[in-house]
Amino acid sequence: MQIEIMHGSPNTPTTQGVIERFNRTFKSKLRRTREFGKLDWKNELKVIIEGFNYCKSRATGYAPIEFFNGSLCIDADNNIFLKTIV
């Protein structure tokens, strides 16, 4: 897993607020994972990040993965997969 550290623009409280909200939610999910006694952090982090990437945003109506890889589709068995936009 590769993690990239990014810094927000100075003097932009709106952007900083979005980042802080994400960090708060992320830490909350990590705490819940620990409460359930799951100790394999690498796999749990992957699950949490995938959850964020596939969850549709209330603001945009799209999941982050849709912006980067195409559109989300659900088949007859309720399996979620990506349809690549060419």
Three-class SS state of 81: strand
Q: What is the pLDDT along the chain (86 residues), one digit of tens a residue?
A: 677 787 777 777 777 787 788 889 888 888 887 777 766 777 788 888 888 888 888 877 878 877 777 666 666 566 665 555 44
* DSSP state letter for 60: T
Cβ neighbors of 22 (< 8 A, separation 6 or more) are 52
33: tokens are 């994972």
Longest dimension (CA), the chain: 48
pLDDT recorded at residue 74: 60
pTM of the predicted protein model: 0.56
Q: What is the chain's length?
A: 86
